[in-house]
Amino acid sequence: MEKIITSRFDIRVFLTSRPELPIRLGFSEISMGTSRHEQIILQEIPKSIIEHDISVFLRTEFSKIKLENQLELKFPPDWPGDEAIRKLTMLSTPLFIFAATVCRFVGGASASSPMKLLDTVLMLGTVEAGLISQLSRTYLPVLNHLRSICVPVKFEQFRAEFKKVVGSIVALADPLGPLPLAKLLGMDENDVYIILRHLHSVLGVPSEPNLPIRLLHLSFKEFLVDPEKKSKVASDKEGKRQEKGRQIK
């Protein structure tokens, strides 16, 4: 930052962070006696501006989804439509993570079309609005979709493997790659990838097997370990810690 400040070039840096004390103190020292940085507090931004920004983001991302799939799929001319954007904007505000997760979910590779996946999100948000938390509205469509594409007789096995893999990703202090994780869990690497391939909207899955798998947002971890969650696919954080301890020993 000091080099940028003294640079002869006009460089602007956009940073996002929680308002932790060391960060606030650091920026106060940099800007002391100057106007070198502008601080914007999310909670103080007018709702209308947040809604506008989320709406623009949604329209842009859905245009990309339609463009990427229109050679193979037939979309309605006005898809997703103004009403769908309005509902998604309403459900997203003020958490941008909802909009981002929905776009990754609808646009990701799946056995269902983007149109059906969007309907799934809108249905959950409409029918259960006010009855479930915003985190649930964000992540339940992703997890419920896993159940819908799983053969019923195989669901219990899939759920057990899901809890084993994703529960470990959530519980481990130091994230592992798909290959080290498979070895730690005593699983076939392909079985780990089968679980992960439907979770790209919530997990950062690397192309290299030894690079770490990361949560795209900490709220996914909070949702999974919440005792009040209503998903059929869940995570037992403490149980995973104990299991990892036994395996390491």
Looking at the fold, whether 82 and 127 belong to one and the same domain comes out as yes
- What integer pLDDT is reported at residue 42 of this predicted model? 76
Q: Are residues 77 and 119 in the same domain?
A: yes
- The pLDDT of residue 227 is 55
Q: Are strands 214-215 and 203-204 parallel, antiparallel or unpaired?
A: antiparallel
Same domain membership, residue 77 and residue 25: no
pLDDT for residue 244: 46
Q: Can you give the residue range of the structural domain that contains 104?
A: 45-131
Indicate the number of domains in the chain. Answer: 3
Same domain, 25 and 109: no
CA geometry: angle at 221 spanning 219 and 223, to 5°? 70
Phi and psi at residue 107, to the nearest 5°: -90, -5
Residue 72 covered by a domain: yes
- Same domain (yes/no): 124, 190: no
User: CA geometry: angle at 234 spanning 118 and 231, to 5°?
Assistant: 45
Give just the sign of the alpha carbon dihedral 83, 86, 92, 98. Answer: positive
Q: Are residues 176 and 192 in the same domain?
A: yes
- State residue 25's pLDDT score: 79
Helix (H) or strand (E) holding 169: helix 155-171
Examine the domain organization and report whether 53 and 34 are in the same domain.
Answer: no
* pLDDT at position 65: 95
Give the pLDDT of the chain (249 residues) as one tens digit per residue. 667 767 788 888 887 777 778 877 777 766 555 556 777 877 788 999 999 999 999 999 999 999 999 888 999 999 999 999 999 999 888 888 889 999 999 998 766 899 999 998 888 765 454 545 777 888 888 888 887 777 666 778 888 999 999 999 999 989 999 999 999 999 999 999 989 988 998 999 998 999 999 998 888 888 888 756 545 555 554 454 445 444 444
pLDDT on residue 157: 86
What's the token pair of residue 190? 């392909």
Same domain, 60 and 31: no
CATH code of the domain in which 182 resides: 1.10.10
